[in-house]
Every structure is written in C-alpha cells, then in structure tokens.
Amino acid sequence: MKKSRIALVAMLVALVAAFFAAGGHRYLTFESIKAQQAAIEAYHQAHPWRTASGYFLVYVAVTGLSLPGAAIMTLAGGAVFGLLWGTVIVSFASSIGATLAFLASRFLLRDWVQSRFGHNLRALNEGVAKEGAFYLFTLRLIPVVPFFAINLAMGLTPMRAWTFYWMSQVGMLAGTIVYVNAGTQLAAIESPSGILSPALIGAFLLLGFFPLIAKRIVDMVKARRVYAKWARPVRFDRNLVVIGAGSAGLVSAYIAAAVKAKVTLVEKHRMGGDCLNTGCVPSKALIRTTRLLAQIRRAPEFGIKSAHAEFDFADVMERVRRVVKTVEPHDSVERYTKLGVECLHGEARIASPWSVEVKTAAGMQTLTTRAIVIAAGGRPFVPPIPGIEDTGYLTSDTVWDLRELPPRLVVLGGGPIGSELAQCFARLGSRVTQVEMLARILIREDPEISQLVADRFQAEGIAVLTGHKAKSFGVENGEKVLIAEHDGKDVRIPFDQLLVAVGRVANTQGYGLEELGIPVTKARTVETDEYLRTIYPNITACGDVAGPYQFTHTAAHQAWYAAVNALFGGLKKFRADYSVIPWATFTDPEVARVGLNETEAKEKNVPYEVTTYGLDDLDRAIADEEAHGVVKVLTVPGKDRILGVTIVGEHAGDLIVEYIAAMRHGIGLNKILGTVHIYPTFAEANKYAAGAWKRAHAPEKLLKWVEKYHSWMRG
C-alpha cells in the first residue's frame, strides 16, 4: 500500500477512535439530544455563529467518517436552527460530508476493487458512467437506503466527484426537509422511528422512482419523435427484413426463422458476403496451398533430400475458386429457404422505419416489416494517395481474379489482411514489399509478437518497410513506382502490382440511412446503442457495418442480439456482450489473441502478471519441426484469473480456444493445469503455460516445512 494511503487510513482510524473514546456515540443519541435541547438552544441564543459553524463542522465530520448519528444530528439541526436555516446547514454539511466519505473510499479502495473485479464490474461501470446520476438521485431520494453505504459504494465507481456532490445535495433535499421539520417539533417526538411513517416512505419511493420513470418516458417520447414523420402501415407483411446476406445477415435471418418469424433476406450481390466470396474462405484456401509450398521448400528439415513443387499460379487461384464453390451451399438460397427464410436477390433501400424497397430483376418490390436488421457489411478502404487511380490497384475484392503472378508486388498495409496476403504471394514467388506507415506490422499485438512475425517475413524474403508512409504513385520509364516517406526522406519502390489493404470501411451510403437520419460514428460505422439498435429501436445493425470488430465470428455473435432485439426488444432486450472477443491472424506463424495484451493492460492501467511458455520446449512442436512461438498469459497479480492470452505459433487459432472458454466461464490457470491434456499435442502448451504460472507462485515457505517433514520421515 502506498504511504499516502497508509497515512490516510491511520488518520481515519485515529479520528474514529477519538470519537468513541470521547463518548461521541453517547452524545449522538435521541435521548441525549432531547435532554440537552434546552442547554444547546441557550448556547445558540448567546453564540449563534459559533453554534452554527461548530454544528456544521461536527456534522461534516460525522458524515465524512461514516459515524452513526447523522439522522439525530439532523433532528437537532431542526430543533436549534429552525426549518429554513436547519435545512440549509444540514443540506450543505451532509453533502460535503458524504463527498468526503466518497473520496476516501475512492482513494483507498477503488483501484483495488477495479483491478480485482473490474472485468466483472464493466457493465456496472458503463451503467454508472451513463446513468449513474439518475441512480444516485433515486437512492438519495429514498431515505431508507443507508446514507453512508451509498457514499462508500459510489466511491468505488467511476462517477465524477462533482456529479456525486450535486446529485447528493439535490436528491437528499426532500429527506432533509422532513427530518429537519421533525426536529423543529423535537419536544413532541417520542422516538425517531416514528418520523418516517409508511405513507411517507411510500411517497419517497414514488419520488425516488420518478426520475427513472421520467427517463423511460423521455426515451419513449424521443423514440416516438423519430417515428413521427413516417406513416406506419396498418399491418405488416413481415416481422423482419435483413439487408445483406454476409455472416451477420445470414445468422440474423436464421435466428428469426428459428423463432418462427416471417423473415426476408435481401442480398444484392453474392450470398455469403465477403467472408465466403472474397474474405476468410479464399484467403484461408490460398494460405493452405502456399503453406504446402513453404513446407516442400523445407524438405531437408524433415529428412527428405530434396522435394520440388511445380505449379501454375492460375491453377492455385482456380483451386481457391473451387474451395469457395464447395463452401457456397452452406450460405445458399436453397439452404436458407429450407430453413424458413425468404431470400430475395436485389438491392435494398430502407424507405421508412417499416418498409424496404427492393430493386430486383423483375422490378421494384416494397416490403412492409415490423423490424429491420442492417447487415450491409463493409468494403476495402482505398486511401486517396496521388496517382493511385492511374497506376491501378488490387484489393481483397479483386485479388482473387488474378491469374498471372505479379513478379513484384507492393502490399500497402501491415494489418492482418495485408500480412496474410503478403506472405501468400511471397511464397508463390512474387517479390513482395510490405509498406506500413506505423512502427510495426500487426500493430494491435504486443511489439515482440509483431516482431516474431516480421522476422519470419524477412527470413522468407519479404521486404517489411515499417515507418514508411505512401506519398504518391506514378509511372517512371514505363515502370510503376511508389514514393514513400521514411525518416523525412523519399524512398522509391518500383512494382508491377499494388495490393491495397489499409483497412475496411462500413457500407453506410445509398440505401436509406441518410434519408432516415440514422447517424454514423466517427469510425464511419452505423451508430447503435448497446442493444445494437439505431435511433429507430425497430432497426438494428450488426457485423462490419456496425463495428467495432470486423470478424466473421463477431458478426455472427452480434447477429443474435440484432435479430432478437429487433423482434422482441419491446418485451425484453439484451445488451451485446463483448467481454471475451478472440481473433486470429493466419500468417505463419499464426497469431491468436483473447482479452488484454500487455500494451492494452498498460494503456488501461490494469495491473497484471505475465507468464510465458516457449513452444520450442514442446515435444510435439519439436517432432513437427515447428518448435517456435510462445504462449503469453496475462493474469491478475497473485491470482490465476486470466486477463488475456496471446499465442504465436502453429495452430495458435485453435489452441487459444481453451483460454477463450476459460475466460468466458471464469476458469483460472489452476483448473487448466488440473485438466488432462492429450500427449503429444500442441494443446499441451496451454497446460504448460499454466504450469509455469503455478511454479512462479509455489508456496515457498510451506514447501520448506514439507521438506523438513520429509527429512524427519527419513529418520
């Protein structure tokens, strides 16, 4: 504990001890105040200011130290100062005292509570940040909720001190007036318990819930206002229309059909969206072929004198197309029709909150619907760099049409898509230059993790140019050239083809969002609340169009919330849960992550411990000639609770699943260690990482005694 905290604890303990030693608890009783009333009033007559300031300070001290007696002091305030001045003095003294208790609790305990339980408290923290003032106001208005408990509990939340102060002062005012007023009749009161009659408590409860009820009404009025200018159909043809048949749209439609809703899925291009046609599936198919090529080149490492692969780039790309075709039926119109989804091929436009126009080959169709899910996905972002349109470029949308291998390929972008494709093309034989503006590739990962991948890239002949900002493209002597800026100097990079992979933007234009006034965020995704609802509660959004993640599994995860909240939000709605989101980059070595890494833990001020297990030690990795990489686990200091895991190496994307399940279900490293893992597998690495953590936390003192016991047993 820091010195300042120890000093504060010592001071608080000393003050509380002094209070009890001086018999404060005996003075602050109803009987004592009644008995002293005449004497106090006489003193007040003689010294009005001294009495008021003394009373004020004692009140602040009692409430600030969370001592018992605040209610009695309030009664005394009424008896001595009357209703008006009693209310003024008590109102300020109690609010200041409450804020001191709030600050003490925050200073002493908040960091500890948030670091230990912050993960579980996330929803509460977010709720307090958003609606905390309302809840505090409600609690303050209901005087049956203990005053000191509210002060101490609120100190542990992220609520601002100023918000706490003024909400407390306003919220406590009604209760203060009741008590001070009762105090003006002190002589007539027999016991403080009679002050709050059941009827008065009922009135306070009503008052307390009033702000929450008022907020709900305001929300309803706001929602009605956005709908006001639209004509609502008398009846609806459908319960749900889903726009876009990518990962998000397919799952939304499937869920709606599974709960027997009448649902129409509209797709303007290809069923399956990006993941099937231009994203996950073709990229993983290409990775498989290029991985085989890389392994053939490593034949001597496996005891094979020589091996040689002959291939045509066009055949490789045809295989990729074949894989897409093979997976296609999973996302097909036939399959979804069988599942109960009406599939329409055409371009959708939201015409009103309850109608969607679809431009099909047969003409325009208007669908009326109770709810809409926007799952319109995203597209590659092409930065407006001078000359880029003239020299031409490929993106993840068009690269799959290539049938001739580019001899020299520039990959612009060091993120997952750019990195996966850069390695594929290098392994196929292109001379690849990867250009990244930031200091390293895979910037979301910890620096040494990025470095492991960059080292492998360089070993495979990829020129990884980090800190290089693309300035312009042009043609010099018939050769395409990129001019990039590095350390203030221009670097000239000639190339034959350019692949742009600098990120993806959500599709938010041209299908009615503008006309409906549905806002987009700074990240240019559709703005939604935590239930994935747009400003129209019957219109939800999910997948790449909604962000913040851009993965197929997160699109599918969000789709459940989007569909359920769109269909049943009026009855019960569910907050999208992002507490455990994993991802993987399928480079070689693979990089997989769930939860926090070190960089993020530092940024968020989350205390952590790091345990690593090197895959170079793993029997199976050695047998497979893949003895490289690491399992890196972040845990709460002194505990086995997992904050996050990064794995680099063979099958990292599969290995991490054990940790995803552990984090999702609150399982710690001790339990992973206590689970039998099959020998010899890569999965054993997870257990060995848990073992490394356990060894670092061995109870050394206890073990010394056990050693003595064994030596005694030996005689």
Ligand X SMILES: Cc1cc2nc3c(=O)[nH]c(=O)nc-3n(C[C@H](O)[C@H](O)[C@H](O)COP(=O)(O)OP(=O)(O)OC[C@H]3O[C@@H](n4cnc5c(N)ncnc54)[C@H](O)[C@@H]3O)c2cc1C
Interface positions with ligand X (CB under 6 A): 243-249, 266-269, 273-275, 278-280, 283, 347-348, 375-378, 396, 417, 507, 511, 543-545, 550-553, 555, 586
Tell me which residue of 317, 313, 308, 312 sits closest to 286, measured CA to CA: 317
Helix (H) or strand (E) holding 307: none
Helix (H) or strand (E) holding 392: none
Tell me which residue of 388, 387, 376, 425 sits closest to 500, measured CA to CA: 388
Could you tell me the smallest distance in angstroms from the CB atom of residue 542 to ligand X?
7
Cis peptide before 589 (omega within 30 of 0): yes
Residue 97 corresponds to which amino acid?
G
Could you tell me the smallest distance in angstroms from the CB atom of residue 294 to ligand X?
19
Could you tell me the smallest distance in angstroms from the CB atom of residue 118 to ligand X?
27
* CB 573, CB 531: distance < 8 Å: yes
Instruction: Tell me whether residue 82 or residue 346 sits nearer to ligand X (CB atom).
Output: 346
Residue 536 corresponds to which amino acid?
Y
Instruction: Tell me whether residue 283 or residue 635 sits nearer to ligand X (CB atom).
Output: 283
> Any bridge partners for residue 363, and if so which?
360
Contacting residues for 532 by C-beta, under 8 A, at least 6 apart: 540, 541, 542, 546, 558, 561, 562, 565, 576
Could you tell me the smallest distance in angstroms from the CB atom of residue 421 to ligand X?
7
Instruction: Tell me whether residue 347 or residue 485 sits nearer to ligand X (CB atom).
Output: 347
DSSP alpha helix (H) spans, 229-352: 247-258, 273-277, 280-297, 313-327, 333-338
Instruction: Tell me whether residue 337 or residue 398 sits nearer to ligand X (CB atom).
Output: 398
Lookup result for tokens 């990025």:
450
Could you tell me the smallest distance in angstroms from the CB atom of residue 582 to ligand X?
10
Could you tell me the smallest distance in angstroms from the CB atom of residue 156 to ligand X?
37
Lookup result for tokens 């043809």:
237
Contacting residues for 394 by C-beta, under 8 A, at least 6 apart: 402, 497, 498, 499, 500
Could you tell me the smallest distance in angstroms from the CB atom of residue 532 to ligand X?
12
In angstroms, how far is CA 240 from the centroid of its own chain?
28
Could you tell me the smallest distance in angstroms from the CB atom of residue 269 to ligand X?
4
Furthest C-alpha separation in the chain: 109
Alpha carbons 110 and 405: distance in angstroms, whole number: 58
Query: What's the token pair of residue 414?
Result: 């060091």
Could you tell me the smallest distance in angstroms from the CB atom of residue 538 to ligand X?
18
Exposed, middle or buried, 231 (CB in 10 Å: 0-12/13-18/19+)? exposed
DSSP readout, 619-660? HHHHHTT----EEEEEE-TTS--EEEEEEEETTHHHHTHHHH
Could you tell me the smallest distance in angstroms from the CB atom of residue 546 to ligand X?
8
Instruction: Tell me whether residue 96 or residue 266 sits nearer to ligand X (CB atom).
Output: 266
The arrangement of strands across the sheet holding 469-476 comes to 469-476, 479-486, 489-495
Could you tell me the smallest distance in angstroms from the CB atom of residue 15 to ligand X?
57
DSSP alpha helix (H) spans, 106-160: 111-117, 122-141, 147-155
* CB 564, CB 373: distance < 8 Å: no
* CB 617, CB 652: distance < 8 Å: no
Alpha carbons 382 and 485: distance in angstroms, whole number: 18
Could you tell me the smallest distance in angstroms from the CB atom of residue 511 to ligand X?
4
CB atoms within 10 A of CB 217: 10
Instruction: Tell me whether residue 245 or residue 516 sits nearer to ligand X (CB atom).
Output: 245
Could you tell me the smallest distance in angstroms from the CB atom of residue 275 to ligand X?
4
In angstroms, how far is CA 539 from the centroid of its own chain?
22
